[in-house]
Amino acid sequence: MFRNQYDTDVTTWSPTCRLFQVEYAMEAVKQGSAAIGLRSRSHVVLACVNKAQSELSSHQKKIFKVDDHIGVAIAGLTADGRVLSRYMRPEAINHSFTYESPLPVGRLVVHLADKAQVCTQRSWKRPYGVGLLVGGLDESGAHLYYNCPSGNYFEYQAFTIGPVLKLQRPTWNASLRALRIPQEKI
């Protein structure tokens, strides 16, 4: 309807109360390659599909090491994922240096969500077009978080991002229930 007038700036709301730039960033995550994360009480597994866009190009790296105990899998714009992974590494190092302990995974995800959310409030910025699965181990156990371009974050036991999101999420819960893994093993 009024799309052309309201999608040039991230801080401009449409008459239907939508921020189109944030929606475009969320769509970029769905267009990216698939990433999956699984966690138990003591382990986290991150996996991505690495495929080249054409036969002449090579695949781009989709999993990044943040620290010895934290890793990130991305779906969406790879350049934005690299920017955010470069942001997370000094955060982890600074925390380790200052407090002489590893950075808790949840605290890193909160910092990351704050950085992503600020981009939805500034007219001279654009939202990051990348979804991140942040997995890691800390004193409280294993954690798997999904951080979306809007700045929201959620903790999951298993989650997928990318093009398989709509197809697989309903079957995940059924599959996990069907396995009937004892709670002490999860």
CATH of the domain at 65: 3.60.20.10
58 vs 77, more confident: 77
Residue (of 111, 5, 24) closest to 66 by Cα position: 111
Per the CB < 8 A criterion, the answer to whether 49 and 3 are in contact is no
In the chain, how many domains are there? 1
Q: Is the pLDDT of residue 179 over 60?
A: no
Q: Find the helix or strand (DSSP H, E) in which 109 lies.
A: helix 105-118
The mean per-residue pLDDT over the stretch 60-82 comes to 94
C-alpha distance from residue 71 to each of 3, 7, 68, 125 (Å): 38, 34, 8, 26
Give the CA dihedral 85, 155, 113, 81, nearest 10 degrees: 30
d(CA 28, CA 109): 20
| Structural domain range at position 62 | 3-185
Q: Is the pLDDT of residue 70 over 90?
A: yes
Per the CB < 8 A criterion, the answer to whether 10 and 19 are in contact is yes
d(CA 140, CA 72): 19
Paired tokens of 70: 């934290």
Helix axes 78-99, 105-118, angle to 10 degrees: 130
Q: Which residues pair with 153 in a beta bridge?
A: 147
166 vs 145, more confident: 145
C-alpha distance from residue 16 to each of 12, 13, 46, 117, 123 (Å): 11, 8, 37, 21, 19
pLDDT band at 79 (very low <50, low <70, confident <90, very high): very high
Q: Is the pLDDT of residue 2 over 60?
A: no
Per the CB < 8 A criterion, the answer to whether 146 and 157 are in contact is no
Per the CB < 8 A criterion, the answer to whether 35 and 75 are in contact is yes
pLDDT, tens digit, 9 for 90 and up, residues 26-50:
999 999 889 999 999 899 999 998 8
**DSSP E strands, 96-140:** 130-138
d(CA 11, CA 8): 9
pLDDT, tens digit, 9 for 90 and up, residues 128-164:
999 999 999 999 999 999 999 999 999 999 999 988 6
User: What average pLDDT is seen over the chain?
Assistant: 85
Per the CB < 8 A criterion, the answer to whether 147 and 114 are in contact is no
pLDDT band at 15 (very low <50, low <70, confident <90, very high): confident
19 vs 107, more confident: 107
